[in-house]
Structure 1
Amino acid sequence: MRTIAFACALLSLLIQAGAALAGGLAYPGYDHLRQYISELGATGANTGPAVSLAFMASGALLTGFWLMCAGLFPKSPPLLVGFGLNALNGLGLFFGGVFRCDFQCSMASPSKAAMLHELLGGLGYLAGIIGVFVIGLAMRSRPAGRGLFNVALGCGVLAAVAFGLLDPAIEFDGAAQRVVELSLAVWTVAVALCVRRPAGAVG
């Protein structure tokens, strides 16, 4: 189970990063600093179908990883809540591929799919960030959890600040989204490495 969980986390992050990098190269004039990743999967984009499929695959794997963590880590209400919140972040990514935003993620006259994309994606980010803090605090008092608490604090604060900058009125909102994604990715890797330890060493 530990090997499967670790593989799910790693594969999810690789798929997501690959989709963003390859999609950006295939999308004419795409600017990673000024455009959201979702624009690569938008309706009408030449990269839309492939990137949306990558979002769904990555989100499903990420959700599975966090749900498996709930069974691999010590059983406690805070940890279960935290892993559940992080799983919601995975679901937000999954449904971000199911419900694609309109071309260039314009919200001028949004379709129902675009509104769901914004709602579920935003809630997924928010749940994931809160989940980082919940798990970090739950692990702080455990002998093997101090390091994970420090990672949670750093990644959580950085992601929270960047999340507040996800505003189309801000020129570099694309860069802010990358900071959120990178922070959550580092957090996922940290937890995945804990999962690789022998049973009993994660708490």
Structure 2
Amino acid sequence: MLAKISSAGAAVFAAATVIAGALYPGYSHQREAVSQLAATGSPGAPVMIVGFLALAAGTVAAGLALRRLLPAGAAGRTAGALMVVAGALLVVAGLARPACSDWIGACTAAERAGTLPLRHVVHNLVSPLVFVLLIAAVLTLARGLARNGARRLAWPSLAVGLVSCVTLAALVTGAVPAAPGLLQRLFLLVLFGWIVAVAPLAARARAAGMPDPGAALQTPVEVP
């Protein structure tokens, strides 16, 4: 059930992005951030806010599912806890609506001048924290998966964490000025896509022979 909630939350978020974008004349998926769809001037803001809340619920559900599926060792439980915290903070980021697009010159100038409302500042502080927590969760999850007998999923989780880390750095530094919106969507697809997919994959691995929690605790799987 938790895995289904996680998948549904991600699906609602993706649909909200498309619908809110269609309701916002002049919005560019290529150049603007997803959060701009929930900004104060966005006609599709109510739709996008629902999308953010759905993604938050899905992230929390994924974290709870992983804590249940990966009981051996602390890594799996820690990764799940990080996802739960990130999901809770995602609610804050979704409700703290930005006032303008961070990747537009006028907005950047207003930020430097300190003339933007508090909710915009809160959004910009909380959103990166959410991503950092999720990347840390995915990297920690690699050890948790291996520790619980799902070694074949450990390396993909590590790869997702490293790719997400590099992509987030590129977004923060503005390394792709021509298409930051597309880069952000790729980042979200890779990071949240793995978060949604990993719990069902781990469950299948257990069904195919993953040791039960008691056995896993007694006979640890060697971590590469």
Secondary structure of the residue aligned to 1:164 is helix
Query: Deviations along 1:93-121, whole A, 9 cap, x unmatched?
Result: 22222111113353512211111111111
Q: Which amino acid aligns with 2:97?
A: R
- Confirm or deny: 8 A CA contact 2:97 2:120 kept in the other structure: yes
Query: Deviations along 1:131-152, whole A, 9 cap, x unmatched?
Result: 1010112323443x22211221
Q: Which amino acid aligns with 1:153?
A: L
Q: Decide which of 186, 193, 202 is 2:200's aligned counterpart.
A: 193
Q: Decide which of 157, 170, 177 is 1:152's aligned counterpart.
A: 157
Establish whether residue 90 from structure 1 lines up as the match of residue 63 from structure 2.
no
Q: How far apart, CA to CA, are the structure 2 residues paired with 1:191 and 1:16?
A: 18
Q: How far apart, CA to CA, are the structure 1 residues paired with 2:147 and 2:71?
A: 13
Between 1:128-137 and 1:192-201, the stretch displaced more is 192-201
Q: How far apart, CA to CA, are the structure 1 residues paired with 2:197 and 2:8?
A: 15
Q: Give the structure 1 partner of residue 185 of structure 2.
A: 178
Query: Deviations along 1:47-105, whole A, 9 cap, x unmatched?
Result: 11221122112212321331232123224212111111222332232222211111335
TM-score by length of 1: 0.87
Q: Give the structure 1 partner of residue 26 of structure 2.
A: 29
Q: How far apart, CA to CA, are the structure 2 residues paired with 1:7 and 1:113?
A: 32
Q: How far apart, CA to CA, are the structure 1 residues paired with 2:118 and 2:48?
A: 20
Shift of 1:186: 2.5
- Confirm or deny: 8 A CA contact 2:90 2:127 kept in the other structure: yes
- Confirm or deny: 8 A CA contact 1:62 1:87 kept in the other structure: yes
Q: Give the structure 1 partner of residue 134 of structure 2.
A: 128
TM-score by length of 2: 0.79
Establish whether residue 163 from structure 1 lines up as the match of residue 168 from structure 2.
yes
Shift of 1:195: 4.9
Establish whether residue 115 from structure 1 lines up as the match of residue 121 from structure 2.
yes
Q: How does 1:36-51 map to 2 (within 5 A)?
A: 36-51=33-48
Give unpaired runs (5+ residues) of structure 1. Answer: none
Secondary structure of the residue aligned to 1:176 is helix
1:100/1:168 Cα in 2 relative to 1: closer, same or farther (>3 Å)? farther
- Confirm or deny: 8 A CA contact 1:102 1:111 kept in the other structure: yes
Q: Which amino acid aligns with 2:52?
A: F
Q: Which amino acid aligns with 2:155?
A: N
Seq. identity, % = 26
Secondary structure of the residue aligned to 2:94 is helix
Establish whether residue 101 from structure 1 lines up as the match of residue 110 from structure 2.
no
Between 1:129-138 and 1:99-108, the stretch displaced more is 99-108
Q: How far apart, CA to CA, are the structure 2 residues paired with 1:22 and 1:160?
A: 28
Q: Which amino acid aligns with 1:150?
A: W
- Confirm or deny: 8 A CA contact 1:79 1:138 kept in the other structure: yes
Q: How far apart, CA to CA, are the structure 2 residues paired with 1:162 and 1:136?
A: 19
Between 1:58-67 and 1:40-49, the stretch displaced more is 58-67
* Paired positions, count: 199
- Confirm or deny: 8 A CA contact 2:3 2:200 kept in the other structure: yes
Q: How far apart, CA to CA, are the structure 1 residues paired with 2:202 and 2:91?
A: 23
Q: CA RMSD in A?
A: 2.2
